[in-house]
Amino acid sequence: MATGRSEGSLQGNLNGMKVAILATDGVEQSELAVPRQALEEAGAKTTLLAPKSGKIQAMKHDEKVEQFTVDAMLDWAKPDDYDALLLPGGALNADALRMENAAREFVKKIDHAGKPIAVICHAPWLLISADLVKGRKMTSYHTIQDDLRNAGAEWADQSVVRDGNWVSSRQPSDIPAFNREVIRLFGETEKNKKAA
């Protein structure tokens, strides 16, 4: 069982790392807020990108909760400006983002550059629509496992799955394991970048 002490040892690993968070209305609140806080506590600078300006409405399952302020419009964002990408879930959020050409192009460029991507819950829908999941081992919310398999992914019912530059997770209850693996992956990437 992980203790607060082992979590604390991860602090500072991501100093100077720029992480894009891609989301829109209907995002699952905990899947945006909790990983974002963990990334920032580890030293990363996060930027919330959305297809619209202003605020996006977060959900807790099917209930509206808080709103998050958008830091930058997705249309103007450049993948080259970021070191990593976090894709929180929420069915409404993921379903809307997968239809945004700018979102599909953004994740393609991040992935083709070999930058790390962290994805949870329904968020893999965007990766499916961007034609990126074939041959990948990953997990997701259980209701979209057929979507992933049909797109050529190897789906696993595990709290967290790491495959190359990707980390995937199933649902809010998996966030502690997800955060640990995300910070580990992002930290390895940042260390390699600084060593290069």
Which residues are the active-site residues? 122
What is the value of pTM for the model shown? 0.93
* CATH number of the structural domain spanning residue 123: 3.40.50.880
Percent of all residues in the chain with a pLDDT value above 90, rounded to a whole number: 89
Domain annotation covers residue 4: no
Residue 63 lies in a domain: yes
pLDDT at 11: 54
- Report the number of distinct structural domains present in the chain: 1
Q: Tell me if 44 is assigned to some domain.
A: yes
Range of the domain at 18: 13-195
- Say if 30 falls within a structural domain: yes
Q: Is residue 151 part of a domain?
A: yes
pLDDT tens across 109-134, in order?
Answer: 999 999 999 999 999 999 999 999 99
Using alpha carbons, select from 74, 75, 94, 78 the residue that is nearest to residue 18: 78
Q: What is the model's pLDDT at position 194?
A: 72
Residue 6: pLDDT over 60: no
pLDDT at 5 over 60: no
| Residue 25: band (very low, low, confident or very high) from pLDDT cuts 50, 70, 90 | very high
Whether residue 6 is contained in a domain is answered as no
What pLDDT band is residue 12 in, cutting at 50, 70 and 90? low
Domain presence at residue 109:
yes
Span 49-108, pLDDT tens digits: 999 999 999 999 999 999 999 999 999 999 999 999 999 999 999 999 999 999 999 999
- For residue 62, give every residue at least 6 positions away whose Cβ sits within 8 Å of its Cβ, in sequence order, or none: none
Cα separation, 36 vs 47, in Å, equals 9
Does a structural domain hold residue 1? no
Helices (H), 85-174: 91-97, 101-112, 124-129, 145-150
